[in-house]
Structure 1
């Protein structure tokens, strides 16, 4: 087995380089899962999509992503995390190019499936690059940065999507990934030789027992719930602001900027909160606050109480959700040996993506969709 040296035995510049690559890769994956959402009204109008097809522009990505995460995770443990990460970046970048040039709905949805395949390789390996490179306090800081990136990308994707859609058109929501993907590929190629090279020998048994411990299972269930809440809230809120309140994409993105800032702040401060109050207190409090904000957000959209109430609800929700990601990810990957790092990271991503798909589906089931202007 090739062993990644802990941070103490690698150069500081190499560790920073690995952290940068992992965070940018995660940014690219998460932001693309949501950036398209804000462009959906323009895509639907331009391509004359039905409400069902409009939903598939989002869910084709999420389903392909979730379905292949564990396959890609195990491949990373076998072949090397950096190799699988690089392959994912290439597939994702080419798929983004096809999506931006798609002449019709069929090719667009196919491109979204291909993007999901690439993302399935990127997401778990972006995390396992960190869990196999950093240890101790450095690992906590690295996971905090990774979680903050996820949080910023989650809401920031809507902001970026609004700017791109308003100024350049919806096709650039896809095409903008091309130069970013090329840059990530170049950065990955320049990673230090030891980074992301953990590789399990062929004789290593499929290490499910390593990631089926009670604490890890509970953490992944928590991540699924969080993923459902975050994806549903952002998807529904984006379309509500445009279809019901009549905002353009740029105005919609700008309205969500404070929420993005609060999510990032929560992720950055969560290590300090954990050190002071402990995991149980932080996750319990964060869950209660996020649930209260989500309930207020749902009511605000259902009765259209106005922008002040809506923004207030999103900020309450963001305060709770922002502090949850890092402790959940930390618990889900704790004490996992390098040979199972990819699998452990993959289960976290699977939980989040499956939760996201269920969250979008729940919008219609709970009757929120008509109020948000998602279906007509």
Structure 2
């Protein structure tokens, strides 16, 4: 316990927070029926969590260096548990979305302190082993999420995807307080509250604008005002970061093409690979009539390929430059998205399998190496900042992907259906429309929307992959290879610890 207790405590928290990124996907149709939720409500159930996690990750990480990492981590787990309880007790979509955002705040506190805590406890070979196990747990959470979500939704009900967090949170807090020592960052640091606030304002306004554009139109008042607010917040963030002594993000890093390339890849990665999946789940359950368990199992080609490729890449691709693993992986993900654009009114879900396997294969290449590539592109003293930036833009990319591809989906559906009917269908309301439109019409409309969203994801992945191949030319292959995710994380933890 003395040796591996801290790793167990940290991994429990990491597993929960990453599981909750994907576990809700297969429960969305049941949530919509139970809470009478709209499409935009469902988008915010997914995005509220990812957005809060992305917006606060860097700021809370800096605060933890001052206040104490174990203290902040435990507070994050407690907040996550309380928010999970509120999610499970939600009586309407507004309460659920608010509770999901609160979950994201707790998750940010947990995620921001994970690597520094491990780095303060483990050293040398033990640290590499611990970080390797932590990486495997992180990947496993994403793979287990849809299947566990399906089992809980079809069994005791969707609310249990949140209630299950409560006993795990209690165990995590007890173990953390018992076996994880307190640690802090260098003295003299200050929290960049202004940077945290302006970045959160930018991310929130941008995502809100995209979601509202899907229902109101891109040129209507609410989306336009949101985009203007996002631009002002971004300008404010840049001004703040240029003037504060301890910025969340050193803007001089953006002068390095390799770092910019990795950030572009990280932003596109989660959105392109996973941004269409919530709508695939809604289509499978509400249009094709699948159960939640079967809906979760249909995603196994993606998650299985991702886990297998990540393991094999770690053994076989030692020394391969990160530009090839990340850029090539994004090209595979983009190709997989294109291969999913094959649906019509009579298509079986099995037509998606080749595309899902390609996306999973690309994910297996990108995920283990992207953090290491960011760290290799910056000076040693900026490695902690770079690692935090990668995690931030990955979660922001997922939130934006869900919003953008949902807007694309409904816009395409409106070629066949009226505006309100398209949004009802995309939000899981196929049953409510069955008396007005034929089954063939509904199936054709949803399929065409998914095809268009998949094409948009494919184009995004291809562009991002090409940019990574052009910009990321780090002459340190050993650091940037797919095998060095744990070593790079160790570097980040050491820099923060």
TM band (smaller chain): 0.7 to 0.9
Name 2:400's counterpart in structure 1.
358
Distance across 1 between alignment mates of 2:189 and 2:298? 53
- Cα deviation for residue 240 of structure 1 reads 2.4
Mind listing any 5+ residue stretches in structure 2 that lack a counterpart?
A: 191-244, 414-421, 430-497
Summarize the alignment of residues 160-309 of structure 1 with structure 2, pairs less than 5 Å apart.
160-193=148-181, 197-202=183-188, 205-206=245-246, 208-209=249-250, 212=253, 214=256, 215-297=258-340, 299-301=341-343, 305-309=347-351
Distance across 2 between alignment mates of 1:144 and 1:44? 38
Distance across 1 between alignment mates of 2:100 and 2:426? 20
Range moving further from structure 2, 288-297 or 365-374: 365-374
Summarize the alignment of residues 142-157 of structure 1 with structure 2, pairs less than 5 Å apart.
142-157=130-145
359, 362, 367: which one aligns with 2:409: 367
- Cα deviation for residue 374 of structure 1 reads 2.5
Q: Secondary structure in 2 aligned to 1:275?
A: coil
Greater relative contact order (Cα 8 A, min sep 6): structure 1 or 2? Answer: 1
Distance across 1 between alignment mates of 2:132 and 2:259? 18
15, 38, 54: which one aligns with 1:50: 38
115, 119, 122: which one aligns with 2:103: 115
Distance across 1 between alignment mates of 2:96 and 2:331? 39
Structure 1 residues 56 and 174: alpha-carbon distance in aligned structure 2, compared to 1, 3 A threshold: same
RMSD: 2.9
Q: Is 2:13 the partner of 1:25?
A: yes
Deviation digits for residues 75-129 of structure 1 (CA, Å, limit 9, x no counterpart): 1222233222211111001110111112223322221121011011112222333
For this pair of structures, how many residues does the alignment match? 360
Name 1:9's counterpart in structure 2.
none
Range moving further from structure 2, 94-103 or 58-67: 58-67
Distance across 1 between alignment mates of 2:263 and 2:346? 34
Deviation digits for residues 223-276 of structure 1 (CA, Å, limit 9, x no counterpart): 111121233033232222212322110111122234222222233333324415
Q: Secondary structure in 2 aligned to 1:169?
A: coil
Summarize the alignment of residues 45-124 of structure 1 with structure 2, pairs less than 5 Å apart.
45-124=33-112
Range moving further from structure 2, 206-215 or 84-93: 206-215
* 2:66/2:189 contact within 8 Å kept: no
- Cα deviation for residue 22 of structure 1 reads 3.4
- Cα deviation for residue 367 of structure 1 reads 3.0
TM-score, with normalisation over the residues of structure 1? 0.84
Name 1:319's counterpart in structure 2.
361
Range moving further from structure 2, 214-223 or 117-126: 214-223
Range moving further from structure 2, 303-312 or 251-260: 303-312
* 1:198/1:339 contact within 8 Å kept: no
Distance across 1 between alignment mates of 2:131 and 2:342? 34
Mind listing any 5+ residue stretches in structure 1 that lack a counterpart?
A: 1-12
Deviation digits for residues 196-231 of structure 1 (CA, Å, limit 9, x no counterpart): 614221257415449936344432332111121233
* 2:262/2:373 contact within 8 Å kept: yes
Q: Secondary structure in 1 aligned to 2:148?
A: helix
* 1:240/1:301 contact within 8 Å kept: no
Q: Secondary structure in 1 aligned to 2:275?
A: helix
* 2:65/2:184 contact within 8 Å kept: yes
Distance across 2 between alignment mates of 1:17 and 1:171? 30
* 2:10/2:172 contact within 8 Å kept: no
Distance across 2 between alignment mates of 1:48 and 1:322? 37
Distance across 1 between alignment mates of 2:104 and 2:180? 28
